[in-house]
Amino acid sequence: CTKSFSSLKFRYTDATTLLLDFAIITYAVDPKKLQEILPESLTPDCFTLSDGREVAFVSAVPFRDVDFHFHFAPFIKVSMGQTNYRAYVKRRDGQRVVYFFGTTLSGFWVRIPRDVWKLPWKTASMQFDTKWEEDHLISYILKTQSQWGPSELVMKGTDQDMGRLDGFIDEDETAAVLTHPLVGYYHRSDGKIGSYHVWHERLDLKRACIEQASFPVFERLGLIDADTKIHSALVMPQTEFVICLPPKLAPELE
């Protein structure tokens, strides 16, 4: 994938989707606990918070896919809810990437990534109730029913730009780590490690205030507990993503 939508050269198997109600809910976690559940070839990307703690970061990223379509069939468009559960990590060569613990997806289409490509994607029923005034979030309510990844999220918007979040040098590093990872890895259902790439413009996110949040996936992994405070919540009304498909095996991590 290249550097702007106007110059992107699509493969017929790639896909484009509009993401609505896009949010990134991030927790600061113990790097040692995160390392225990990562492939050996990936290490946590570590940062020091203002209180002196060394941490790594994991995020739940919910959104609504609208008009998802493969480029070989632009007339077939589908919409669905989705939440990605990811950690911010580094490869042996130092490149910053993400590791996906799994994804919840609403609707029939979960069968393609789960059964055909062996991605760790799980069936879910997702209810979004959001209100925006242009790019300002008024309210955001998400309820997810899923055996693997149930969740609840209630938050309100602010007028604060993302800026520099705690633990990062500046806004550029914040964006590079939390909002612009383009390469992701995951454990396939057959035990092998797979990867896929995405592309998008730089995201223009604003901070949000959490009123209620529950992501049991992270608790089950031993990364947070009921008392863990959220590091940050970021939102934007919509953004467009290109997903380079199909996913591939990742021999570079073997």
User: Does the pLDDT value for residue 126 go beyond 50?
Assistant: yes
Looking at per-residue confidence, does 171 or 5 come out higher?
Answer: 171
Q: Which residues contact 19 (CB under 8 A, 6 or more apart)?
A: 63, 64, 65, 66, 238, 239, 240, 241
- When pLDDT is cut at 50, 70 and 90, the band that residue 9 belongs to is low
Residue 229's pLDDT is what? 94
Residue 3's pLDDT is what? 45
User: Does the pLDDT value for residue 12 go beyond 90?
Assistant: no
Looking at per-residue confidence, does 108 or 230 come out higher?
Answer: 230
Residue 249's pLDDT is what? 95
- This prediction's pTM: 0.95
Classify each residue of 223-252 as buried b or exposed e, where b means 16 or more C-beta atoms within 10 Å of its C-beta: bbeeeeebbbbbbbbebebbbbbebeebee
Place of tokens 């994938």: 1
| Candidate from 2-16, 45-59, 89-103 with smallest mean pLDDT | 2-16
Average pLDDT rounded to a whole number, residues 185-213? 95
Please report, rounded to a whole number, the percentage of residues in the chain having pLDDT higher than 70. Answer: 96
DSSP 147: S
Is 178 in contact with 234 (CB distance < 8 Å)? yes
Helix (H) / strand (E) element for 184: namely strand 183-187
Cα 119 to chain center, whole Å?
14
Is 121 in contact with 113 (CB distance < 8 Å)? yes
- When pLDDT is cut at 50, 70 and 90, the band that residue 11 belongs to is confident
Average pLDDT rounded to a whole number, residues 129-143? 97
Residue 2's pLDDT is what? 40
Distance between CA atoms of residues 170 and 79, nearest Å: 35
State the amino acid at position 114 in one-letter form. Answer: R
User: Does the pLDDT value for residue 6 go beyond 90?
Assistant: no
In 3D, which of 134, 82, 78, 101 has the Cα closest to residue 220? 101
- Phi and psi at residue 178, to the nearest 5°: -85, -30
* Structure tokens given for 203: 């995201």
Distance between CA atoms of residues 101 and 251, nearest Å: 19
Please report, rounded to a whole number, the percentage of residues in the chain having pLDDT higher than 90. Answer: 86
- When pLDDT is cut at 50, 70 and 90, the band that residue 8 belongs to is low
Average pLDDT rounded to a whole number, residues 23-27? 98
* Structure tokens given for 217: 């996936």
User: Does the pLDDT value for residue 47 go beyond 90?
Assistant: yes
| Candidate from 26-30, 75-79, 191-195 with smallest mean pLDDT | 75-79
* Structure tokens given for 146: 């899923």
Average pLDDT rounded to a whole number, residues 59-70? 95
Pairing assessment for the beta strands 78-90 and 43-44 based on DSSP bridges: antiparallel
Average pLDDT rounded to a whole number, residues 88-112? 94
Residue 232's pLDDT is what? 98
